[in-house]
Amino acid sequence: MIKKWLLSNLIGIIMSVVILIFTFGLLYSLLHRNEIITEPQNIPLRTGPGIAYSQKEKLKRHTKLHILSKRHGWYKVRCSDNEKVGWIAGWLPENQSLQKITPLSESTIVLDAGHGGNDTGALSNDNNHYEKTYTLSTVKKIQQQLVQQGARVILTRKDDTLVPLLHIPTPAQKQQADAFISIHYDSSSEDNTASGISQYYYHQSNGSKQLAESLSQKFNDLPLHNRGVDTAGYIVIKNNSRPAVLLEMGFINNDDDFQYIRSQDYQQKIAQRITSGIDNYIRKQIAD
């Protein structure tokens, strides 16, 4: 009798089981959607959403956290084991490759590849090579270096597109970036009359000058002469309340400089030194 009933209602039973499984899965997902488990060891739990806030403790690997709120990429969390509440850099918990957490790992860096789209920027002497090409190539190498250190990196452009000038500072403002770096390659009024690299900042009171100086110290062993730090009213740094610098990493209309600019090795050296310079700047800001 039971067997006959089961056979006659098999489809209904199967549908009921499927619905129960789906409902249970959905309920479980809703209950746990704001839970994360840390992968790296020693993620700092801070009193607020940023590296400027003091550190409460360091979280052990595989700590279960409940996300309470989010701000500028940071998560306000409650620890499941001890009920402590604090803030962590939201991009760190699921990073499975990061071996060591540093202040740079907790930082948000915005990189701007100068020009793009129909704005080619400066030209090489043969008019066949555009500044926009080399700024983007260099920025992607800097991004790779920073990501390896665990940093959160935001690009103002990822391909050959033009970002309106007034919009370029927006990501740094919106995400409360710890540093904004705009990469350019310089040009002189006459070919082959100027050479070297320069670092520019505008604001004196928001860390921009210190950031420019920290980067400049790392550029002294590059093959091109370091012309040093100066102020300039470029929109991307002037209209930016975050620590912001604009870097001219060589003169594209100087034949000797251009041989370096187009070199993957030179761009990689730039990326390494910028990463090191940002790291030093952030460590000093925390110490101060």
Q: Residue 1 has what pLDDT? A: 56
Q: Residue 12 has what pLDDT? A: 57
Q: Do the beta carbons of residue 149 and residue 204 sit within 8 Å?
A: no
CATH second-level architecture of 103-287?
A: 3-Layer(aba) Sandwich (3.40)
Burial of 156 per CB tally in 10 Å (0-12, 13-18, 19+): buried
Q: Residue 5 has what pLDDT? A: 54
CATH superfamily of 35-89: SH3 Domains (2.30.30.40)
Local mean pLDDT, 10-residue blocks, the chain (288 residues): 56 53 40 78 96 94 95 94 91 92 97 98 96 98 97 98 97 97 97 98 96 98 97 97 98 98 98 98 88
DSSP 8-class letter at 203: -
Q: Tell me, what amino acid is at 267? A: Q
The residues with which 251 forms a beta bridge, in sequence order, are 186
Q: Domain residue spans in the chain? A: 35-89, 103-287
The pTM of the full predicted model, rounded to 2 decimals, is 0.88
**Count of residues in the chain:** 288
